[in-house]
Amino acid sequence: MSDLPFILFSLVAAVAAIMVVTRAVAVHALLYLVVVLLSLAGVFFALGAPFAAMLEVIIYAGAVMVLFVFVVMMLNLGRSDRDRERHWMAPAVWIGPALLSGLLLIALCTTLRTIPPTAASDTMAPIGPQSVGLLLYGPYVLSVELASFLLLAGLVSAFHIGRNIRGTGTGEP
């Protein structure tokens, strides 16, 4: 019975993730993605990692989703984009990635089955916010800065592509 919150959060995350990839309207997909991220925070909390759950809510469900919503609003996706995304939902388009994802899931399950259950708990220690901050802004500061540049490059690319799709940019429509 103690696994019930974990199971409920996991089911909500799985159903919401399916809704993310099947929605033709980008804003609806983003709202379902927020549900997925909040459910994952619940999964982390149910597993006994409240700090990871808090980071999930603050960083992903908060900051990254604000960035995504800003990009969608900036691109101003219209009816033609919705029709194009409906074409992507045809089975001929998604059956290959679905099969590859299934193979990855099988590989993950077999890998997790081979790990003894006590191996991870013996070597792991709780990590607090201070140690995370020291690691992020110590030896991993270059990785953190590269990730911020990657997000910025994605935002600029999305703006440029969206502007050219609309035919208002300097490139070809």
pLDDT of res. 67: 76
How does DSSP assign 50-75, residue by residue?
A: HHHHHHIIIIIIIIIHHHHHHHHHHH
pLDDT above 70 (res 8): yes
Residue 171: band (very low, low, confident or very high) from pLDDT cuts 50, 70, 90: very low
Q: Average pLDDT over the chain, rounded to whole?
A: 74
Per the listing, tokens 């700090």 go with: 51
pLDDT, one tens digit per residue, over 64-106 is 777 777 777 766 665 566 666 666 667 776 676 677 667 767 7
Task: Judge whether 151 and 142 are in contact, CB under 8 Å.
Answer: no
The more confident residue out of 115 and 120 is: 115
Residues 6+ apart with CB under 8 A from 34: 61, 65
pLDDT of res. 165: 59
The rounded distance, in Å, linking the Cα atoms of 55 and 152 is: 21
The rounded distance, in Å, linking the Cα atoms of 38 and 170 is: 40
The rounded distance, in Å, linking the Cα atoms of 96 and 94 is: 6
What percentage of the chain reaches a pLDDT higher than 90? Answer: 0
Give the Cα-Cα-Cα angle 93, 89, 92 (nearest 5 degrees).
25
pTM (predicted TM-score): 0.54
Q: Mean pLDDT throughout 109-121?
A: 62
- Looking at 43-47, 118-122, 128-132, which range is the least confident one? 118-122
Tokens linked to 159: 């703006």
pLDDT above 50 (res 172): no
Task: Judge whether 15 and 72 are in contact, CB under 8 Å.
Answer: no
The rounded distance, in Å, linking the Cα atoms of 8 and 98 is: 24
What is the sign of the dihedral through the CA atoms of 162, 165, 170 and 172?
positive
